[in-house]
Structure 1
Amino acid sequence: MKLLIVEDQPKTGQYLRQGLSEAGFNAELVANGTTGQHLALTGDYSLLILDVMLPGRDGWQILQAVRSAGLEIPVL
């Protein structure tokens, strides 16, 4: 299962990525909303984990773009 984590706090992002990787997930981490939105729209992810307050685009804007594109990826 391929996951995208969009989190700008390095320690939090690494903690999530490491824990999910150890649990057998393929977790990709990015630290800004602009890159996160691009990957969410173009990648083949099974789950998105979005921070709300991000540089570039916030988590709500990313979610809106994903839903507007017709993608029904689960989001935390």
Structure 2
Amino acid sequence: MKLLIVEDEKKTGEYLTKGLTEAGFVVDLADNGLNGYHLAMTGDYDLIILDIMLPD
């Protein structure tokens, strides 16, 4: 299963990525809304985990 995480807080994004990768998921991490949008529109993700408090 391929996941996209969009999280602007570095520590939280890394924590989620590490845990989900160890659980067997393929994870891409975007550190802002613009990068997340680009990845979401060009990638084939089964699930997107989106921070609702992104600054951009």
- Alignment TM class, shorter chain as reference: over 0.9
Percent same amino acid among aligned pairs?
66
Root-mean-square deviation (CA, aligned residues, Å) is: 0.8
Which residue in the other structure is 1:29 paired with?
29
Q: Which runs of 4+ in 1 moved over 6 A?
A: none
Q: How many residues align?
A: 56
Q: 2:55 and 2:43 mapped to 1: Cα distance?
A: 20
Gaps of 5+ in 1: 57-76
Q: 1:49 and 1:26 mapped to 2: Cα distance?
A: 13
Q: How does 1:46-61 map to 2 (within 5 A)?
A: 46-56=46-56
Q: CA deviation at 1:41?
A: 1.1
Higher strand share: 2
Q: TM-score, normalised by structure 1?
A: 0.70
Looking at both structures, which has the greater relative contact order when contacts are Cα pairs under 8 Å and sequence separation is at least 6?
2
Q: 2:55 and 2:39 mapped to 1: Cα distance?
A: 15
